[in-house]
């Protein structure tokens, strides 16, 4: 009667899933200022040069560089100020030999000028004359047309996750709309005869559903849309009916199964019945979360999570989140923030299994400490008290107090 899994290491498990799923969830055009965190659907090329005119990168004087050659504190170059270049307007000036124009950072270069002398390297002699005490080379302190972005060049490639600087840069080039992957829809099924909704009555034997809400929150964090299908009882027919609807309406199915062997078997049976190739992985070498199911149904991912709220969160984070990004076309999902800290206690594990242990982080004079929260590590309250999960790598039989551990911040 003991469960016999062929447990698969986490990396191998995800690779197996990815080799069977079909990325692509459709695309849509969105306003760039609303596109933070979205994944680009196509390459974007610069429609114009940035800057569109040669600009000064300093406060100072637009000059002909040759007029400054040999200038020094001892023998300054005396040059004639023929005007001041207004911000946001054409320079409206042409320099002849020996002439300069006052210019501000970002101002346009005067016609005939090829460099800018920083104001710090000048002295005002009178209203129309300055001394230049250091020479400049042609191009010095000048941003030429297209120096930032050249017209026609690749600005952002497809499959790129849009960050604040990308939003700014697109707007800076006048691109106000962009094609992005649609947000993947994730059907989340919480199963178990014992579950009631959070606002339901908890009669003896019943517990409130946790996973629908914690997993929906993780789904939103990953830029996807959680579709809740309510609570599903522990019967094959009921679960299968909900799973079929989930597969129809969403791009991915996640079943948070009950924790008993029988309900886990039920999940595997239902997933197997949905289509080919079906279950790819049943059992991963991770604690908590060993009885995880990874499946593909005609190219759509279906994932069975353990019912325990902590296992469900850990496994969702390790397998569902990367799959969401994969569906949206992004092959380099953002990293979960993590820190290195010094363990305060030994952590037991076994070689060939990756362990995640809830820890509190404390700062002491020597640096960050990771204090394992012992006792029932698989309780939701433990995870609420924790700052993150310390990772005992696959190839370690445990970690000793004093060793450095990576803590994934949750």
Is the torsion defined by CA of 16, 17, 20, 23 positive or negative? Answer: negative
- DSSP states of 197-213: -TTS---TT-EE--HHH
Cβ at position 318, least distance to a second copy in Å: 14
- What is the pattern of x (binds a second copy, CB under 8 A) and - over residues 234-253? x-------------------
Q: Is 214 in the site for a second copy (CB under 8 A)?
A: yes
Q: Which stretch binds a second copy (CB under 8 A): 72-80, 268-276, 302-310, 393-401?
A: 302-310
Cβ at position 157, least distance to a second copy in Å: 10
Token duo for residue 347: 């952590």
CB 262 within 8 A of CB 193: no
Cβ at position 272, least distance to a second copy in Å: 21
Least Cα distance to 361 among 304, 407, 401 occurs for 407
Among 29, 52, 128, 393, binds a second copy (CB under 8 A): 52
Of 3-32, binders to a second copy (CB under 8 A) are 32
Is the torsion defined by CA of 369, 374, 380, 384 positive or negative? Answer: negative
Q: Is 337 in the site for a second copy (CB under 8 A)?
A: yes
Q: Is 163 in the site for a second copy (CB under 8 A)?
A: yes
Sole residue written with tokens 């700014």: 168
Among 72, 129, 176, 331, binds a second copy (CB under 8 A): 176
- DSSP states of 315-378: HIIIIIHHHHHHHTT-SSPPPPPEEEEEESS-EE--TT-EEEEEEEEEEETTEEEEEE--S-TT
Q: Is 84 in the site for a second copy (CB under 8 A)?
A: no
Q: Is 349 in the site for a second copy (CB under 8 A)?
A: no
Residue (137 or 202) nearer to a second copy, CB: 202
Residue (90 or 277) nearer to a second copy, CB: 90
Size of the site for a second copy (CB under 8 A): 95
Q: Is 48 in the site for a second copy (CB under 8 A)?
A: yes
Nearest-angstrom CA–CA distance, 326 and 344: 37
- DSSP states of 275-311: SSEEEEEE-BSEES-TT-EEEEETTEEEEEEPSSHHH
Cβ at position 215, least distance to a second copy in Å: 7
Q: Is 76 in the site for a second copy (CB under 8 A)?
A: no
């Amino acid at each position: 009667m003991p469960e016999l899994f062929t447990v698969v290491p986490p990396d191998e498990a995800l690779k197996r899933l990815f080799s069977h799923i079909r990325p692509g969830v459709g695309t849509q055009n969105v306003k760039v200022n609303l596109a933070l965190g979205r994944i680009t659907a196509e390459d974007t090329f610069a429609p114009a040069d940035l800057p569109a005119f040669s600009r000064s990168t300093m406060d100072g004087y637009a000059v002909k560089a040759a007029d400054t050659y040999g200038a020094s504190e001892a023998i300054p170059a005396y040059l004639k100020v023929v005007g001041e270049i207004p911000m946001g307007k054409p320079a409206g000036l042409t320099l002849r030999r020996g002439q300069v124009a006052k210019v501000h950072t970002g101002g346009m270069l005067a016609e005939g000028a090829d460099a800018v002398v920083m104001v710090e390297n000048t002295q005002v002699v009178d209203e129309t004359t300055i001394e230049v005490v250091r020479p400049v080379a042609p191009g010095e302190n000048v941003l030429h047309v297209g120096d930032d972005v050249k017209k026609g060049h690749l600005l952002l490639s497809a499959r790129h996750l849009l960050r604040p600087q990308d939003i700014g840069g697109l707007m800076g080039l006048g691109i106000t709309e962009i094609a992005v992957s649609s947000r993947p829809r994730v059907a989340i099924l919480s199963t178990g005869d014992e579950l009631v909704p959070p606002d339901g009555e908890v009669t003896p034997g019943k517990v409130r559903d946790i996973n629908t809400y914690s997993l929906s929150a993780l789904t939103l964090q990953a830029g996807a849309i959680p579709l809740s299908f309510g609570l599903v009882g522990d019967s094959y027919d009921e679960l299968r009916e909900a799973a079929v609807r989930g597969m129809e309406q969403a791009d991915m199915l996640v079943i948070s199964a009950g924790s008993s062997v029988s309900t886990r078997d039920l999940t595997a049976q239902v997933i197997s019945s949905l289509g080919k190739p079906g279950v790819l992985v049943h059992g991963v070498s991770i604690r908590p979360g060993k009885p995880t199911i990874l499946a593909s149904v005609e190219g759509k991912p279906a994932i069975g999570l353990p019912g325990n709220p902590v296992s469900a969160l850990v496994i969702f984070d390790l397998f569902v989140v990367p799959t969401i990004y994969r569906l949206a076309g992004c092959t380099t999902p953002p990293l979960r923030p993590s820190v290195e800290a010094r363990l305060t206690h030994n952590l037991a594990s076994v070689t060939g299994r990756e362990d995640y242990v809830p820890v509190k982080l404390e700062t002491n004079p020597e640096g960050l400490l990771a204090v394992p929260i012992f006792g029932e590590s698989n309780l939701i309250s433990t995870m609420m008290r924790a700052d993150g999960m310390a990772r005992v790598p696959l190839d370690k039989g445990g970690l000793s107090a004093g060793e450095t551990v990576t803590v994934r911040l949750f």
